[in-house]
Amino acid sequence: MLDQNALKRNAAQAAVDYVLPLLGPDSILGVGTGSTVDLFIDALAPHKQRFRGAASSSERSSARMAQAGIQVFDLNDIETMPAYVDGADEIDSGLNMIKGGGGALTREKIVASVAQQFVCIVDESKLVAKLGAFPLPVEVIPMAMAAVARRLARLGGEPEERKGFVTDNGCRILDVSGLDIADPAALEARINDIPGVVTCGLFAIAGADVALVSGQQGVRQLRAGQVSQ
């Protein structure tokens, strides 16, 4: 019986196998944040001669890549990337996701938007029928915390400040429980429209293109609306 860390490691290795054929000597790869991505960076490092470098979604991943000898580029110097690889806190069969458990959601959404495809790597515990058991992270400009919290409560959520946490952008996080996420893209747009919200952790307007889901039987590849072994 594989434990969760072994499952994450298998997903990370599957992502390396998936992205390497997409990369050439001039390619920049988008890299996300989190414990699964840490394992992806470790598995990617031995292949660093096969591509030019990476764009990172957090100080944490940048530091890990620099230590592994993978060159990290400023996103402003990159026009496009063949792929962006990242984990998720929850993902559904439509490849809509909740992200931001590690607080990197905004930079993740930005870096992902520059890539041609989003490759999501998860262990099977993250695959859900409906999003929302995991509290939705919302990044907020500090002066707007109370105002945004009131608006989120009016949407049916129970926002709680992530105490003592400051994002890489100098902002704060509200973790919102109790939301009914019937239409992830509509709710994403609605929350992102609240003044003071930087972005919310729903990735549904632009979800993943492919998910590599690691389970006891191996790694399954999921595409939106279609499952294959």
Ligand X SMILES: O=C[C@H](O)[C@H](O)[C@H](O)COP(=O)(O)O
| Residues within the interface to ligand X (CB under 6 A) | 32-36, 86-89, 99-105, 108
CB 95 within 8 A of CB 45: no
Compute the least distance from the CB of residue 49 to ligand X, in Å: 26
Which residue's Cβ lies closest to ligand X? 34
90 is catalytic: no
Is the Cα dihedral 27, 31, 36, 38 positive or negative?
positive
Rounded CA separation 165/142 (Å):
11
Of 59, 79, 108, 158, the catalytic one is 108
Q: Residue 87 half-sphere exposure, CB side, CA atoms within 13 Å?
A: 29
3-state secondary structure of 164: coil
Compute the least distance from the CB of residue 35 to ligand X, in Å: 3
Compute the least distance from the CB of residue 181 to ligand X, in Å: 16
Task: Extract the annotated binding site for substrate.
Answer: 33-36, 86-89, 99-102, 126
Closer residue to ligand X, CB minimum distance, 139 or 157:
139
Who's near 142: CB < 8 A, 6+ residues apart? 170, 171, 172
Task: Extract the annotated binding site.
Answer: 33-36, 86-89, 99-102, 126
Closer residue to ligand X, CB minimum distance, 27 or 35:
35
Active site residues: 108
